[in-house]
Amino acid sequence: MRAAVGYEPGKPLIIEDIDIESPRAGEVKVRLVATAICHSDIHALHGDWNGNFPVVVGHEAAGVVEEVGEHVTLTAPGENVVVSLLRSCGRCFYCAQGLANLCDGVFALQSESRLRNKRGELIYQGIRTAAFAEYVVVDQSQIVQVPQTIPLEKAALLACGVITGVGAVVNTGQVKPGSSVVVIGLGGVGLNAVQGAVLAGASKIIAMDILGMKLAVAKTFGATHTLNAGQDDARQVVLDLTDGRGADYVFVTVGSTTAVSQGLTLLRRAGTLVIVGMPPTGATIPLPVVDIADNGLKILGSFVGSTRLRVDVPWLVELYQQGRLKLDELITARYSLEQINEAIGKTERGEAIRNVIIW
């Protein structure tokens, strides 16, 4: 099969034919139809998370189940599915607590890979998926069926960007109706956090970015106010819009420690900061501990939107079918695999919401 392989951090991907094994017990092979490019893929390709090379990344995908291994009960060949990085055993402490996104079960694919290049060298499956390829082999818990009526290039967005952004608001932050919400960063995840705030019934949704194009797009996704983080006094604008108190919730959807520090300054007393974007390994910020304690601030981490894959994806599909969730509008452009380096470059430069590789 064809795949885009990263052999060195920060270098362009190489398009080549590689081999993929058949799925083993509990695993599923999916023929992909579409894979969207997420900033997490770019972080991984730059080596920001100390990952292994050579690697195939890509983790926001959808396709058709082609083959299943022994003991697979959650899907069957021929089904249209979303393929996610989230996998869950259903038995560990976290799964039992309803926190399947934090599962610490043991899976064969944690230490093994089903990919080899034509020289017989192992290629790692980046971000648990390896979806910059025509096929993937993943654990059965990483997929969820979607109706034949939803185009798979739209369904692919539900694998990460949508569930991460909407889920951060609805699941992690549990935003209350009538609340004021600030979203810092308006990429694919940030715009979905804006959508999540609309779904949660927030009364003020303040969208922040440094790019005017993204601020304009945020309005179409439901932002009631926008501010340019590179030009406006963000704290003063937020105070003016919230009767001098500050926001009830701030969602930081970019992997920036500076944005996290800024987010703390935008909260009201007893406000909640939700960290959604993933910074490089080892990133830290100085915490104003006295201010946090004295003001009763809450800081939450949100890993892939605290998503329950088999609950949240069908809900989001239904919202899309009802016209209450935007998916089409998230796609900036479509590319072939041979154009993937161009698509990644435009994403990295902030010129796209979601670029999608079509197989």
Task: Cite the active site residues.
Answer: 38, 40, 43, 59, 160
As a whole number of angstroms, the distance between CA 242 and CA 229 comes to 18
The CA-based dihedral angle spanning residues 58, 59, 64, 66, taken in that order and rounded to the nearest 10 degrees: 80
Q: Report the amino acid identity of residue 15.
A: I
Distance CA(9)–CA(185), nearest Å, equals 25
| DSSP 8-state assignment for residue 22 | P
DSSP collapsed to 3 states, 220-263: HCCCCEEEECCCCCHHHHHHHHCCCCCEEEEEECCCCHHHHHHH
CA atoms in the 13 A half-sphere facing the CB of 211? 13
Yes or no: say if 314 and 144 are a contact pair by the CB < 8 Å rule: yes
Residue with tokens 């601020």: 215
